[in-house]
Structure 1
Amino acid sequence: MQVKDLQTPLANHFKLTPEEVNAIYNSGNGNVFRDRISWALSYLFMAKLIEKPRRGEYVISQMGKEMIASCNEEQINAFINKAVNKPKATTENVTTPTDATNPVEATELTPQEALNNSFEDIKQSIKTDLLATILSKKPQAFEILVVDLLQAMGYGGEIKNAGVVTQLSNDGGIDGIIKEDVLGFNHISIQAKRYAEDNHVSRKEVQAFVGAVAGTPSKKGVFITTSSYTKGAIEYVESLNGSPIIILINGEQLTEYIYECGLGLQTERVLKVMKLDRDYWDTMLDE
């Protein structure tokens, strides 16, 4: 029996929805449900409860048959945990990784899922620290930050000094610009609001920015805040239908972009996780 042969009966047994069966990691690196089956088979093989007569195929071993006949589920799980030196789960109904688009409930996490969860926890902690640090700085520093961020994201290309923070006394509602060509005929206008989490950007503030952007040749603008936007502000931008083009970025999106660009961050550690190259091993003859 192969992994693909187990998917349907296991999905039926656990009464999984199509969304749970097809859930993938946000990284795009594989299907969560199929990954869980593969890990379960690995544990069973390590505990000698199944055998692999050839690559990719599994059959229950004599020991496995004897355990099914004489032991209950809890005893079998305890035996497997001990065999693979895996600590017993201390919590019940733990959900599959936050990296999955549609979590699948289970009692334990696979090593890959635990690693993904740890990564997401660390990432969220850093993003929280980022937001707190930004709020501790002056508004002018935030304007510099968002200009640096857009350049780090690739806007402005190879143009030297593409990002500019406007003068405070004469910014006309625009805090910065990103030049998209050498002479500056085309550019992106930026509005930056360093607001506390509960201080949402209103429709009136967005409208003022739209008016300023509408007067520029490019008619393209990005409004960035550390908080969020009111429903009215979001609906107003949607009603513009791209004339002018306005992008709203809230605090959550802001810290995500900063994290992904590594702006103001240092790499603490790089983990190299390996897996079998199936194409390589498939060229060798099976015994």
Structure 2
Amino acid sequence: MTIPKHDEIRIPALSLLSERGQLKLSEFEAPLAECFGLSQDEVHEEYESGNGKIFYDRISWALSYMNMAGLLNKPKRGIYKISPLGIEKLASPENLNNFIAAEVAKKQKNKPAKIITQLIINDESLTPQEELYASAKKIRESRYQEIIDTILSKTPREFEKLVVSLLQKMGYGGEIKHSGVVASYTNDRGIDGTIKEDVLGLGRIHIQAKRYSQLNSVGREEIQKFVGALAVAKSNKGVFITTSSFSQGAVTYAESLNGATTLILIDGQQLAEYIYDYGVGLQIEQTIEIKKLDSEFWDSMENNQVKSDIYQGS
């Protein structure tokens, strides 16, 4: 069973409120998970960003949209109750999502028509938060290709310097001054760079960097040569980095070393991701702040005791 979209959650959530009167947000999770037959892993699955549980977030947005459309009331902060309109619309649930889309669009009347149209289109699939994540992911993936294309436009020597800088940025070499060294062309002996892991240089990570076209791949023979170079250097730690990919034979060979030599393979995709994550040669283009209510602040205020479902102004 896949985790339901927020529009799929609406009718079961509204029905649940019709049966139970009023509920807190957290009280929807268990009965709705049972309704959709979700496993515990699915219930607790989080966004890739780590910003919360997917199912819980979609429940929250389902309730938010229904509240915006007038199908729910919130007699207290964090408490949901079905409204008379919600009871009426629950009698013909097949029209519920179209009604919500239309009502939400009305509330966006001050926004450009293009935004309203987009809201209605997206209303049946992703939550606004998921749309944001999806857009960020697309931008991120486009940057990956830009990174590789830019690397391929530079010299092999510059690529060697780049990967040494990247590993240092990732924390290898720690606070040691000049921990990263790019080997000279005349005497590299199959090793393009070295990272010193300690002040005395007793521990070293050796690097091989291949700036290949993405259409090519690094084969087993090149990996074997690098392992041989590590043996000559009396080292058992190596990182082989390429802008392309590794053949299955190369991957299988690296895995067969069984700890005698620790060899890490980093292909073009992983390389681009590391460069992006650690900000090597990148700058922040834009920062978007998304704020939520401070529970401690609002909960410290005295609640209105009016029993009516309709908000009473002060």
1:108 maps to 2:131: no
8 Å Cα contact 1:185-1:217 kept in structure 2? no
Deviations along 1:36-83, one digit per CA (max 9) or x if unpaired, are: 110121121122210112222211111222333467235423333324
Q: Which runs of 4+ in 1 moved over 4 A?
A: 11-20
Q: CA deviation at 1:11?
A: 4.2
Shift in alpha-carbon separation, 1:111–1:173, aligned structure 2, 3 A = same
Greater mean deviation of Cα atoms: 76-85 or 6-15: 6-15
Shift in alpha-carbon separation, 1:223–1:163, aligned structure 2, 3 A = same
Q: CA deviation at 1:205?
A: 0.6
Rounded to whole Å, the distance in 2 between the matches of 1:256 and 1:174 is: 23
Aligned partner of 2:230: which letter? V
Q: CA deviation at 1:150?
A: 0.8
Aligned partner of 2:50: which letter? G
Aligned pair partner of 2:265 in 244, 248, 251: 248
Aligned pair partner of 2:103 in 80, 95, 114: 80
% identical aligned pairs: 52
Rounded to whole Å, the distance in 1 between the matches of 2:102 and 2:236 is: 66
Structure with higher Rg: it is: 2
8 Å Cα contact 2:73-2:80 kept in structure 1? yes
Aligned pair partner of 1:262 in 279, 295, 301: 279
Unpaired runs of 5+ residues, structure 2, are 1-22, 109-115, 305-314
8 Å Cα contact 2:211-2:243 kept in structure 1? yes
- What is residue 215 of structure 2 aligned with on the other side? 198
8 Å Cα contact 1:159-1:182 kept in structure 2? yes
Aligned partner of 1:159: which letter? I
Alignment of 1:205-220 (within 5 A): 205-220=222-237
More helix as a share of residues: 2
Taking structure 2 as the reference length, the TM-score comes to: 0.79
Rounded to whole Å, the distance in 2 between the matches of 1:205 and 1:116 is: 39
1:2 maps to 2:19: no
Aligned pair partner of 2:60 in 38, 41, 48: 38
For 1:58, what is the secondary structure of its paired residue? strand
Unpaired runs of 5+ residues, structure 1, are 92-105
1:237 maps to 2:254: yes
Aligned alpha-carbon RMSD (Å): 2.2
Shift in alpha-carbon separation, 1:176–1:53, aligned structure 2, 3 A = same
Rounded to whole Å, the distance in 1 between the matches of 2:236 and 2:74 is: 63
Shift in alpha-carbon separation, 1:195–1:89, aligned structure 2, 3 A = farther
Q: CA deviation at 1:10?
A: 3.8
